[in-house]
Chains A and B, each alone.
Chain A
């Protein structure tokens, strides 16, 4: 049994956890939900020892403990399966499983690999993974690596007394449906050995897997409910503190696109390294969603259109003109904007302020003879801060300190203010809370109304269905099926999934 009593945490004056009570019984699966900024990740870090709480107590089997590091927590049986996988890609599976705990296999300073392989096999069997422990980790699929990570945490079992507590942080975000089912089966089968804390944005999965659900909001547990009979809408309401509009995706604002204006056309394009053949047309005012499992080849299509990679064969036409040179600068000059999935890496330059970020792609328009017109830049930034109601003290604020939603608005403003007519949206709502998501959906509708063509790779299928005019289902790099998505006649999840897997 693992328990937190009245746990407090402050970061530089910000009260992140305000007296959290949390309890997990042996063999229980707890779902932990909350919006971004609700304090979920801090709570988890306290649990697995990466962060020290400054008030309250942590109890393992009724005894107060103090974790100074994740290693301390592991010694007490608390382990973390990281969202960003923590395995080292160029080591073998067994080396990863026993990383830092090689001692039992060492004799006279040398590792007995046979003994380690046998032990690793025992761990892998727990997660029903039948692979050679000497495989280089990099050669595994993402889902396999996730299971190895789980096996690594389960290896704690032999080293600690009592039951394990295992944290799963967004374990399903990049898995396919089948892989998710497999993971859930494994987790359920492991309840005899361990209890689990399952963190996810996907409420349907939380309900399906957990016994009880903790809802966290603004650093406080606002509700603990039994998962049996729990409703998604109900949980959402508690997370946000208000009703989610049934018109979440603003379907009422979806207008037909202009079928006579083709902005972008891929004509039998072979994406590098995939040997496929992709044809599509994007019209003014259209939202075209590319749908498929992770690794099905959606991103390479976006990156090819944006000029980050060169197609092997075929023609790419922008407003009817074939494109011959492929580079991002060329694409930007042609009015293509790219809103990347990795917002903090490719979207926002932290350390630069709002106007510097907004004009980064269009400095040519705000300079004469290489000399920047900073007054004009600032005016532009103020205009868009107002238009998109970006929450910043001023256009001089450092974008690195903004919330995810406001950062995404700055990135959107960057392309919209530059007059981009074709916009690639790669997971535009990833990691945003519900309010910020709604804002992004509203902006997508605004852009459509202005005649912008959008290619969307959405975070969830519901999002793709809700937002798009047209859906292309992609499997193994090829477009397998087209769906028309007019409001009122949208395809169902099931319609799409059967072509995805």
Chain B
């Protein structure tokens, strides 16, 4: 039953808002709704991998911020390679979080908070604390394929679904994904099975950093620029998306597809606030509450008797 909870929530929400205004359910509206949350979805997919192993990544938003700045700065000199560069930087930042967590035994909420702080500063320093803009021609030349539509489907959305598909393949069909699941389900078993757990944990953090960077990349291309605060307000919805999707903080269950559903729930809730005329500034209040409720109802209490 609990397994089906996320998509039932999504469908009920759609029906609820649809009853208020039927145009909400029109294909065009739904597609634009979905493409609006593409950066959030990509970030949440990365976050899923880390939560899947029972850790948390609080650096995603800062890495995405940094990525928007770095993409914009690198675009004139590197062209499309700016994308690869930014992805590599995200991977490295994530890996640093992983190394600090596993080798130095710093809890992940602290290590990622610290690495996020570093990423934020890198963004601020390199941007000179201001919003940067991409040259239109350069942007179209390097990343034109990312914007635009084919047969009414935005390319961004296709890209996001491809990324989800890749992450899903890693999670369900590959050795690292299986290992992530096992670490979330019971780390001592994985150690006693002769697996080098630390490597896989570092990999999970590195992938999360990479996905956060991709989210930043996509976002900066969409907005044609970068700023160290561009992705502000992404972190909470991303964590909410993972948790309401059905991946509990203790890890081991749920996964990427759950997060796809979770992100859609976040998107619908956000959009519905307009329909029910709730001011946008109130959003984070709502997501904060949803986060607490989501954690309180999904957590596996048999794994955590005591919370500190």
Contact = CB atoms under 8 A, between A and B. Distances in A.
Given A351-B252, A352-B181, A371-B173, A360 B189 contact: yes
A349 B181 CA distance: 9
B191 interface: yes
B252 to A, nearest CB: 5
A56 interface: no
Contacts of B179: 363
A347 B196 CA distance: 16
Given A352-B185, A356-B178, A363-B179, A338 B195 contact: no
Contacts of A328: 191-195
A414 interface: yes
A351 B189 CA distance: 12
B260 to A, nearest CB: 21
B174 A345 contact: no
Interface residues of A, number: 31
Contact of A345 (B181, B184, B189, B193): B189
B186 A345 contact: yes
A332 interface: yes
Chain B, interface size: which category?
20 to 34
Contacts of B178: 356, 360, 363, 372
A411 to B, nearest CB: 9
B223 interface: no
A327 B193 CA distance: 11
B194 A332 contact: yes
B195 A360 contact: yes
A372 B196 CA distance: 18
B27 interface: no
B190 interface: yes
A360 B193 CA distance: 6
A292 B195 CA distance: 31
B194 A331 contact: yes
A371 B190 contact: no
Contact of A363 (B175, B186, B189): B175
B215 interface: no
Contacts of A370: 174-176
A372 B173 contact: yes
25 contacts: A308-B192, A328-B193, A329-B195, A331-B194, A332-B193, A338-B192, A345-B186, A347-B192, A349-B182, A349-B186, A349-B189, A350-B186, A351-B184, A351-B185, A351-B253, A352-B181, A356-B182, A360-B178, A360-B190, A361-B193, A361-B194, A364-B175, A370-B174, A371-B174, A371-B175
Sort A-B residue pairs by CB-CB distance and give the 4 closest, nearest first: A332-B194, A361-B193, A349-B185, A351-B185
Given A332-B194, A370-B175, A372-B173, 10 more contacts: A327-B196, A328-B192, A340-B192, A342-B188, A345-B189, A346-B191, A347-B192, A351-B186, A360-B178, A371-B175
